Amino acid sequence: MSTSPAPSHRGLEALLTPQNSVLVLIDHQPYQFANLHSHEPTMVLNNVIGLAKAARVYKVPTILTTVIEERGGYLVKGLQDVFPEQKPIDRTFINTWEDSRVVDAVKKTDRKKLIIAALWTEICLAMPAIQAAGEGYDVYAVTDASGGVSREAHEMAVRRMQMAGVTPITWMAVVAEWQRDWAREDSATGLAGVLSEHGGGSAVAFAWELQLLAGRAGKGV
């Protein structure tokens, strides 16, 4: 049996664009964060909000969903504030892909590159990612906007998803593929705003670059 990756994992067509992507953000709720131990919780929170803001910049359809929010808590405020007009789909299914409302919302976008971030990785990310991959979607799991109850749980889930054909990716890699060309100035400006707030060391470097450019402009260079 061949172990070569599927054709969709190779070449230019394997890369994300704002036109071929749909983003699903699953269960970024207080209860889930309380038992997040694979990453520093504030890092995951920063990254998922940055990812959501970037999706807004690039007009990527984004679906928010929670699980039993009356017990697990509402979607975290920083994430909900990115899409104040959207009421998250509140589920009882642990596996998001078994909730027809979420699947129907994805299908309505008519996009086959499905980007998912979730808490926790080993359950709420792995289950829908594996099922959707089996149903013909090109699934991208955003590993640093997700997290598990332990480092081992997160890492084993990523391995399992890879075996099912899911592509692991980080949030800044997603937005870089969406931007693709710095000549796209309208979205580049929006991305710069997102990175300045959520880009960590990249934000510091970017601020420094702006300082240097401002200094040169002041000297007439």
Active site residues: 124
Let me know: does 77 contact 185? Beta carbons within 8 Å. Answer: no
Largest Cα separation within the chain, whole Å, is: 65
> What are the angstrom distances between the C-alpha of 41 and each of 45, 47, 146, 196?
6, 10, 10, 20
Q: Sheet with 167-169: list strands edge to edge.
A: 89-91, 62-67, 21-26, 113-118, 138-142, 167-169
Name the residue among 141, 127, 148 with its Cα closest to residue 41: 148
Extract the runs of DSSP E, i.e. beta strands, from 8-123: 21-26, 62-67, 89-91, 113-118
